[in-house]
Amino acid sequence: MPPSYRPTVLLLAAALAAGSAARPAAAQFQDRRVPTQNELRLSYAPIVQRVAPAVVNVYAAKVVQNRNPLFDDPIFRRFFGMPGGGGEQVQRSLGSGVLVDGSGLIVTNVHVIEGADEVKVSLADKREFEASIVLKDKRTDLAVLRIKDGSARFPFIEMANSDALQVGDIVLAIGNPFGVGQTVTHGIVSALARTQVGITDYQFFIQTDAPINPGNSGGALVDMTGKLVGINTAIFSRSGGSQGIGFAIPANMVRVVVNSARGGGSAVKRPWLGARLQAVTPDIADSMGLKRPAGALVANVLANSPAAQAGLKPGDVIVAVDGQTVDDPNAFDYRFATKPLGGSAAIGYLRGGREFGAKVALQTAPDVPRDELTIRSRSPFSGAKVANLSPALADELQLRDAIDGVVILDVEPGSYASNLGFQRGDVIAQVNGQKIHKTRELERIASVPNRTWRLVIVRGGQKISAVFGG
């Protein structure tokens, strides 16, 4: 140390020593004191007491047929004195739900009540009620139930603005894990806008480390104000138990589904862009001179769609919706789908390295009479349920570029169509050289016996030609 600084340092050290000696012992250790009784009682209990009565257990039951092949053998049935058909069996599933309306409106997951013939809910106060299914939205894995006792009023949880959440916020998860009864766990928001989870069509989840286990599905994720920020939906697990990675559907998406149910709709109506989007890869970003691989690249625009009317073109990169950043197509789908119908949304996009803005109308995709039917005649389509395609149905099925024709909605297990590999979403373009426009055309052509069937099917945006023997 240079001599000129030594006296100053010595004086400072002496002053600090004198000050320390002059302070009382209690003051020196004030950061290591014993907490008071009131501080020891700090708890999440007030929040839990307020919201727990609005979280319910959901019990779903469905009747299935036992299909042991031996039951179809008349000799076997006669020998053992058994009736045909193999009998019935009741399958039960268990999950959670959240009351979001005092009249008895409940939100849960579709996979909790899928295929159910009977649904019951049990409240925290042990009351049980039958519930009806008001709406199922498979694209979000959200379902809305209504308690059939219309005379009672029920506790409910208000929904928060989930966009206000931040990583690190404390959250509580309430549900019925493993059927042991209502359970509360706590944690933090681990991540936001998770878009590569692969659970629903709308990949935009809240990730939390609050322990979530089987049976928590459909339960509440609440913030420290006691408001609903999400519906617990899935866990990442190799063992079936919680490993600290759980996913919840944001409340802003839940609100869209609930509002559709309140309006008396049997399906959720959402804004339609009318354009196909794809991710911006590092190679695409380099070729376009972008600073980073982010945004949603417009790959195709349908004529007369809201995107076309707003002036969007293939090659544009959408980077924002109403000022909120868009990092990938999944983020855009969520941001756009949570906008209320009517009015417009401000879209920010890049074109040729420059930033532009456009107003996109918030309107539903046009629909046509679907004329759904199941093909029964002997043909490759036997057992396939088909419908007339429209922009609305194409959007619902997430089909690329398809706005006209006939699409397969479902395939009966064990049917001829199932054995040939037909799938939901396959578009039937041609049969024996004839283009198919309507379901009745397909039904008529399929009813004519043929030794050979030449088909053109569109799957995943690609045409597939196939030949089958009659």
The three-class DSSP label of residue 94 is strand
- Alpha helices (H) along 81-145: 110-113
Tokens representing residue 303 in the block: 């004529």
Identified catalytic residue from 101, 137, 141, 223: 141
Identified catalytic residue from 93, 111, 162, 316: 111
DSSP secondary structure of 267-287: S-------EEEEE--HHHHHH
Q: What is the C-alpha separation between 161 and 324, in angstroms, rounded? A: 14
Q: Are 172 and 222 in contact (CB under 8 A)?
A: yes
Identified catalytic residue from 190, 217, 260, 382: 217
Q: What is the C-alpha separation between 395 and 274, in angstroms, rounded? A: 8
Judge whether 141 counts as a catalytic residue: yes
Sign, Cα dihedral of 335, 337, 338, 341: positive
First vs last C-alpha separation in the chain: 99
Q: Are 47 and 172 in contact (CB under 8 A)?
A: yes
Q: What is the C-alpha separation between 399 and 407, in angstroms, rounded? A: 10
269: β partners: none
Number of H helices, E strands in the chain: 13, 25
331: β partners: none
Judge whether 186 counts as a catalytic residue: no
Closest residue by Cα to residue 399 from 250, 253, 276: 276
Contacting residues for 31 by C-beta, under 8 A, at least 6 apart: none
Q: Are 130 and 106 in contact (CB under 8 A)?
A: no
Count of residues making up the chain: 470
Q: What is the C-alpha separation between 176 and 290, in angstroms, rounded? A: 47
C-alpha 358, offset from chain centre: 28
Q: Where are the beta strands (DSSP E) in 78-140?
A: 88-101, 105-109, 118-122, 128-137
Judge whether 217 counts as a catalytic residue: yes
Active-site residue numbers? 111, 141, 217
